[in-house]
Chain A
């Protein structure tokens, strides 16, 4: 039995045993003793979405994410976190001969936290790079739009396979500083068809200025060496989010300076076919960068409306791109959310697709 089938069975079994819920696991009988013995938290989320382009190309239905994550808070030294994700499963396409295509399975996160004290922590393993908040909470039910902004994902290493030291400056305000390093290749990376590049070395720092119920802001830096191409990418990013009574405003700007002075001279011939297919190989110096501004309006407990504008420049493209999104999310209560979204893009191909998207997403715990 292959890994895909095993994982599917595991997920189906898990889903059948859990109740889809917004954020809770309710004891059924109030008179029984409380069952708080577990230091483990098992959760997950699912996202299914249909893309219906407006330029007469094919419509597609995806099982985009099926993720299960388990966190344990056992003691000071043993606080593991594992997230297994099945993604990119094409369920249906309007184009003949392009029907079902099975997805891929990766460990998206796999780490342990060592809590030195209440303010200091060391994390070892594979974890999400703290560059902007979107990268840290990218699960579909936690973000508003079906399409993730390019600003939040494209120009830096999203994952770190290494270690991180974090120091909390103020527990209440949530201000903290984190330093991280990856000294070798990515652990269990996503295929290059789903992720623009792989990295051999990454170092970075993230300064979270505040992380509270009503606001979050961070200033992030990352220096990354791209595997094989010898590209060096130096990124700086700033994000600010306001969570208000009926409005959320979210903005991020990012700039990545790319240098590649020695790639052609030092190219050792070990490049693989997968990397060759990527347009970034041996390209010239340049920069990636852009920003977005997103707003969400809570019309009622069920209905939320949102919009976003984004500009992004890519070093590998002749022209930059812009996109505009308008959408609505309807909460189905404990059964999750339905999003209907319209995106209008132009310019660079990575951002220029236009059309409607319909998505179902839910957290389960």
Chain B
């Protein structure tokens, strides 16, 4: 990351030297300033994870949504898929809801309550990201989401990365 920053700074000053007029220098300086700030405001990444071997390919948002909306319940091998959720007030759940479904956690909560009343089991709740990772690594068929890339030592596949 630090090497990247130096490279960016070098490129910017090189650009400035090539530019003759003051206006261009100001623009270039501003660009440098913004580029240096960029790593500080780096976007958060959401990792969609699954128990190792549940899916052989990466999944896009639509496919992930279908499992969380309880439309799809089994994978290609006929194995039950168990979606895992974070608690209602967890900030990552809010980001997941907006990113995957374009809906608030309240709207999804209403949807899952309706499904539960009709006899369809809603996603299993785990209290923290750590608990989600533990669950997914141990329970065959589980899928979840976390904000940190899981260790390769864990029994987990990353199905997709979503920049928030």
Contact = CB atoms under 8 A, between A and B. Distances in A.
A69 B115 CA distance: 13
A33 B138 contact: yes
Interface residues of A, number: 41
A160 B118 CA distance: 15
Question: How many interface residues does chain B have, given as a range?
Answer: 35 or more
6 contacts: A24-B88, A137-B117, A172-B72, A212-B69, A213-B107, A363-B116
B82 interface: yes
A171 B71 contact: yes
Q: Please list the 3 inter-chain residue pairs (A to B) with the smallest Cβ-Cβ separation, ordered nearest first.
A: A30-B131, A34-B135, A24-B125
Contacts of A31: 130-131, 134
Interface string B102-137: 111011111111101111111011111011001100
Nearest to A302: B106
Nearest to B126: A27
Contacts of A10: none
Given A30-B127, A172-B66, A243-B107, A36 B82 contact: yes
A283 interface: no
B114 A137 contact: yes
Q: Is the interface of A mostly helix, strand, loop or mixed?
A: loop
B117 A34 contact: no
B104 to A, nearest CB: 7
A334 interface: yes
Nearest to A363: B113
Interface string A21-42: 0111111111101101000010
Nearest to A45: B117
Interface string B81-115: 01001011000000000000111101111111110
A307 B147 CA distance: 40
Interface of A: 22-31, 33-34, 36, 41, 43, 69, 71, 73, 79, 81, 113, 118, 136-137, 139, 141-142, 171-172, 174, 212-213, 243, 245, 298, 301, 331, 333-334, 363, 365
A301 B114 CA distance: 18
Contact of A301 (B104, B131, B134, B139): B104
Contacts of A22: 88, 109, 113
A212 B107 CA distance: 12
A334 B124 contact: no
B74 interface: yes
Contact of B116 (A43, A113, A243, A298): A43
Contacts of B101: 213
Given A23-B112, A331-B106, A139 B71 contact: no
B134 to A, nearest CB: 6
A36 B84 CA distance: 10
